[in-house]
Amino acid sequence: MIYNFCVLVEKQIRVDIFLSTLFKDFSRSYVQKLVDRGQVSVNWVKVNKNIKISNHDEIKIEIQLEKLEVEPEKMDLDIVFEDKEIIILNKNPRVNVHPVPGENWKTWTLVNGLLYHCKDNLPSIGWVERPWIVHRLDKDTTWAIMIAKTDKMMNYLSGIIKNRQIDKYYIAIVHGKIKDRNFKIESFIGRHKDDRTKMTTLNPIAAKEAITYWEVLDYVDNKYSVLRIKLETGRTHQIRVHLASIWYPILWDSTYWNVRVNKEVATMHQIKRQALHAYELGFELYWEKRVFRANLKDDMKKMIWDIVE
């Protein structure tokens, strides 16, 4: 796999920092290994990790992909729907979706559980045989997630996501009482220039348009708002970033808010992870519009059982 592109930066920056910020799947240590192996060139010259790049420099990355050694593991999968072509799961919190090249997340991921559940009935995706998970999820988000079991379904699901032919609805509990019952946020979201683990709406890197709609369903303790959210676009951390940007962060979102604010929630309502759940997917399947719902997990259910059934 070869990446070849021209750099757009405001000031000089180390090549390893820039690439680990630009590519969300590349850790800084992984980029440094690529540089050490001579797989990164700047202006057609192989470089070391300390070199700084400037605006309009040309970067070439040559990656020799290797097969991840991911073993099947028996897991309790909350299956919403399954047939020979597709599985829709209600993902549990604190479970990584899949291993990431350059990281050590090779066990207890959704991929490990699916390899065990599906046995040999999975497509081969490029350089690694694994179930085709067509959309990414935060580790602590729960929701209905689609997995293709055939190449044909893989291509179909990828197409409807790309063409925005799928309706995605979320339930979130946020800090603060939102007065506007219906609202729309539209902005550009991209990587934070100083922290590759974060996305931002303020001077983002590689920004893309992001559109989020919400409806206030009710309030809890007169200080938390329960939202039903619809995404028109699907950017990384989109809901979390948009809500934090207007000072209504999702409860226990440690990346975009201070978790100390939520100690009371942990004590009173046993919420100890970000209170975000994707509960509904609607799309055409086998020439028929289908809607799939994933029930709230127990922690969120206990807090808002009388608001969202």
Residues forming the active site: 138
Owner of token pair 């220039």: 193
Distances (CA, A) of 301 to 64, 77, 81, 276, 305: 45, 19, 21, 11, 5
Distance of alpha carbon 159 from alpha carbon 161, whole angstroms = 5
Question: Burial of 134 by CB count in 10 Å (0-12 exposed, 13-18 middle, 19+ buried)?
Answer: buried
Q: Who contacts 174 (Cβ-Cβ below 8 Å, separation ≥6)?
A: 224, 225, 227, 243, 248, 249, 250, 251, 275
Residue where the block lists tokens 């683990």 = 197
Which tokens is 63 given?
């990656």
How many C-beta atoms lie closer than 10 Å to residue 159's C-beta?
Answer: 11
| Residues 174 and 251: beta-carbon distance below 8 Å | yes
Residue whose C-alpha is closest to residue 225's, from 245, 251, 244, 252: 251
Cα torsion for 61, 66, 68, 69, to the nearest 10°? Answer: -150
C-alpha dihedral, 255 to 257 to 260 to 265, nearest 10° = -100
Is the four-CA dihedral 211, 241, 279, 180 of positive or negative sign? Answer: negative
